[in-house]
Structure 1
Amino acid sequence: MDFPQIRIQSQQAKIQIQSEPAQLHMSQPSGDLTIRQPEADISMQTRRGRLNIDQSRAWEDMNLLSAKKSIARHAEQGKQAALEGTARRARQGDALMRIENDANPIPAQAVENGFSQQKQLGLTFIPSPFAVETSYEPAELDIQVQVHQPVIEGSVNKPVMQYTPGSLETSLAQHPDVTIEIVNTKI
């Protein structure tokens, strides 16, 4: 007995896809930056130091005087000598007035008036220690500084972009196919 059989053969469809990807190129140019630093303004004022040396006492110790001081000193010494001489003469006159008191003032006055005191020798031309006086006023320095802030200028550059769109193509690589066959087979 023959039995009919159905044979079905199918072939699936195949889709073919071709794609080209999109491309994006980006570049970022560096920003522009300028920095300027103005110089600071500096002003300085100086008051000089002052050294004072006073050696007048040293000159006086060496008996090297100015004319004015020499005249004043000798005038004072003359005045003192005149006062001492007047006092001596008054004292001697008083002694002579009392000659009746059994005193003998004439020989004593002769010795006193006839001999002067001995001068003392010594090194008097050397100035005394610390005869030169010094004083010092230190210098003063005044510094004024005016600072200026830096000048900063910056600009941003936009990014550069280049875009190429992609493409996509689809096509049928294999068409679908169904084959139906009826076959008689014997059993």
Structure 2
Amino acid sequence: MNIPQLQIQTTRGVLGLQIDKPIQEIEQPRATLTQEQPAAILEMSSTRSQLSLDTTEVRADIDLKSPLRRSAENAQYGMQQLMEGIARRAQEGQQLVQIEIGGGAIADISKQNGTPPQKQLAIKFVGDRTKIQMSLQPGTLNINATPQKAINNVQVNKPIHNYTQGKVTGVMEQYPSIQIDWRL
């Protein structure tokens, strides 16, 4: 007896996934910075110093005298010589008055007046600098500096963000199938 046979053959379906990964790009541009430093304001004021030197006495030591001073000194010298001459003549007169005592007063007077005293040679330094009269009035210096603030301009740039979404797609890698076969 023949029994009909039924044969069923199945193939499974295979589902595959196709994945496109997401792409993300982030870029952060640098901040835009501008800086400026204005120069400081500088104010200066000064007064001159004054130095005065009086060299009158030093110049007089080296015989560089003003006409008025020279005239005054010559007048004083003349007066002194006059007084010395008067004193000498008075002394000589006294010696002559006492001629009767003896002693040769005329010979003594002629010896005194006939031979002048010997001059002494010596080194003399002229121009004593300690006689310079000096006065100093110091000057002043005022400095005023006013600093200026720095100017900073900062502009923050937003990040650049590009995003491409990922995608998942179902793909049939193998379709299911059924084969039915029957035989007698």
TM band (smaller chain): 0.5 to 0.7
Corresponding residue number in structure 1 for 2:143: 144
Amino acid at match of 1:19: I
Taking a change above 3 Å as real, the CA distance of residues 57 and 15 of structure 1, as seen in their structure-2 partners, is: same
Taking a change above 3 Å as real, the CA distance of residues 166 and 129 of structure 1, as seen in their structure-2 partners, is: same
Taking a change above 3 Å as real, the CA distance of residues 19 and 33 of structure 1, as seen in their structure-2 partners, is: same
Taking a change above 3 Å as real, the CA distance of residues 167 and 13 of structure 1, as seen in their structure-2 partners, is: same
Secondary structure of 1:98 counterpart: helix
- 1:76 and 1:9 map into 2 onto residues whose CA distance is 163
Taking a change above 3 Å as real, the CA distance of residues 129 and 110 of structure 1, as seen in their structure-2 partners, is: closer
Percent of matched pairs sharing the same residue = 25
RMSD over aligned Cα atoms: 4.4
Corresponding residue number in structure 2 for 1:29: 29
Taking a change above 3 Å as real, the CA distance of residues 129 and 66 of structure 1, as seen in their structure-2 partners, is: closer
TM-score (norm 1): 0.63
- Unpaired stretches in structure 2, ≥5 consecutive residues: 1-6
Taking a change above 3 Å as real, the CA distance of residues 83 and 53 of structure 1, as seen in their structure-2 partners, is: closer
The alpha carbon displacement at 1:33 in A equals 0.6
On the 8 A contact 2:61/2:127 being kept in 1, the answer is no
Corresponding residue number in structure 2 for 1:65: 65
Q: How does 1:132-171 map to 2 (within 5 A)?
A: 142=141, 144=143, 146=145, 147-171=147-171
- 1:12 and 1:55 map into 2 onto residues whose CA distance is 135
- Give the aligned length: 172
The alpha carbon displacement at 1:159 in A equals 0.4
Deviations 1:63-90 (A, max 9, x none): 4432111112102211221221122123
The alpha carbon displacement at 1:167 in A equals 1.6
- 1:10 and 1:136 map into 2 onto residues whose CA distance is 129
Deviations 1:103-144 (A, max 9, x none): 33233334545x484897x9xxxx95556769897x979473
Corresponding residue number in structure 2 for 1:78: 78
- 2:126 and 2:154 map into 1 onto residues whose CA distance is 75
Secondary structure of 2:95 counterpart: helix
Secondary structure of 1:39 counterpart: coil
Amino acid at match of 1:102: G
TM-score (norm 2): 0.64
On the 8 A contact 2:61/2:128 being kept in 1, the answer is no
On the 8 A contact 1:34/1:154 being kept in 2, the answer is yes
